């Protein structure tokens, strides 16, 4: 499937049926403001169709965010590690995004299940998701919600980044993001949580949190609230080095993760491409 089969959206579970020129075959995922369907067209070609929940019809902020994410995916361009864009628009006033259909689960599910696909391919997955992020930055956009739930992995370990609703163009110099552009606190950089100006290096921090969690099954800065998470990021007196939790991790890989997790943005990698090169060297890939 395209993503997790959770059906915890705000609406009642919708039924399969026609949607414009598409037929919605199976509900794959239902999240905060949208649902994802396995859909087919008149030629029976399968797609992943993301459709905004009916209950958000008059939520103009959500509609704008949904359409912006679709437009950004269209502009990013094709890449092996970004979900493939087909089209977007509205059908009967309801925003939708049509994407390539891939049989995959998200990264959070895989490591929660200790899935063999992850265990056998972790080095390549780490590099591939960094390369997807590099492609996005090279094409002028920050993801701003990079986390394991937004990384899909197929049964043959192919990686696809998804969900660009919070993405923004890379500014010429760091600038404050809208307070209505929240992200996910556990993966946010300190400057995001503090409401300070941000740059693409916030995605590098989020990558570091995701990689740490993937390799240790723990978050580097645990907390139940944004304030608790921020306090851990700023203090670090009880920070646990990843190799203490996973002694099999190469020291060179730990060094990459620690640089991603630097408190000060200027101490992180200046570009994702540099991080990718050091990951490749650390993992012998």
Q: What is the 8-class DSSP label of residue 105?
A: E
Q: Give residue 6's pLDDT.
A: 40
Residues of the chain with confidence (pLDDT) below 50: 1, 3-11
What pLDDT is stored for residue 3 in this prediction?
45
Instruction: Give me 200's structure tokens.
Output: 């693409």
Res 179: pLDDT: 63
How far apart CA 202 and CA 99 sit, in angstroms, is: 26
Residues 6 or more apart whose CB falls under 8 angstroms from that of 41 comprise 21, 22, 23, 47
- Owner of token pair 């099999």: 248
Give me the active site residues, please. Answer: 145
Q: What is the per-residue pLDDT for 170?
A: 95
- Residue 7's pLDDT is what? 39
| pLDDT value of position 182 | 73
Write down the pLDDT at residue 32: 81
Q: Is the pTM of this model over 0.85?
A: yes
- The phi, psi pair for 17, rounded to 5°, reads 160, 180
């Amino acid at each position: 499937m395209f993503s997790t089969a959770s059906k915890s959206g705000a609406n009642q579970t919708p039924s399969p049926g026609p949607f414009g020129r598409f037929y919605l075959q199976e509900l794959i995922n239902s999240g905060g403001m949208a649902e994802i369907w396995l859909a087919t067209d008149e030629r029976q070609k399968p797609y992943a169709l993301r459709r905004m929940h009916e209950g958000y019809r008059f939520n103009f902020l959500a509609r704008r965010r949904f359409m912006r994410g679709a437009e950004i995916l269209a502009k990013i361009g094709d890449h092996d590690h970004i979900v493939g864009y087909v089209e977007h628009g509205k059908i009967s006033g309801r925003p939708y995004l049509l994407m390539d259909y891939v049989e995959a689960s998200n990264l959070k599910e895989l490591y929660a299940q200790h899935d063999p696909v992850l265990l056998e391919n972790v080095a390549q997955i780490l590099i591939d998701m960094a390369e997807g992020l590099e492609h996005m930055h090279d094409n002028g956009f920050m993801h701003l919600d990079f986390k394991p739930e937004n990384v899909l992995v197929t049964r043959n370990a192919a990686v696809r980044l998804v969900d660009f609703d919070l993405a923004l163009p890379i500014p010429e110099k760091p600038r404050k993001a809208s307070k209505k552009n929240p992200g996910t606190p556990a993966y946010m950089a300190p400057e995001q949580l503090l409401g300070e100006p941000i740059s693409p290096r916030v995605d590098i921090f989020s990558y570091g949190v995701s990689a740490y969690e993937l390799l240790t099954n723990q978050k580097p800065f645990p907390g139940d609230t944004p304030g608790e998470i921020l306090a851990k990021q700023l203090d670090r007196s009880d920070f646990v080095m990843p190799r203490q939790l996973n002694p099999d991790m190469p020291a060179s890989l730990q060094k990459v993760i620690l640089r991603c997790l630097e408190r000060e943005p200027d101490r992180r990698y200046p570009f994702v491409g540099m991080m990718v090169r050091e990951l490749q060297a650390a993992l012998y890939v």
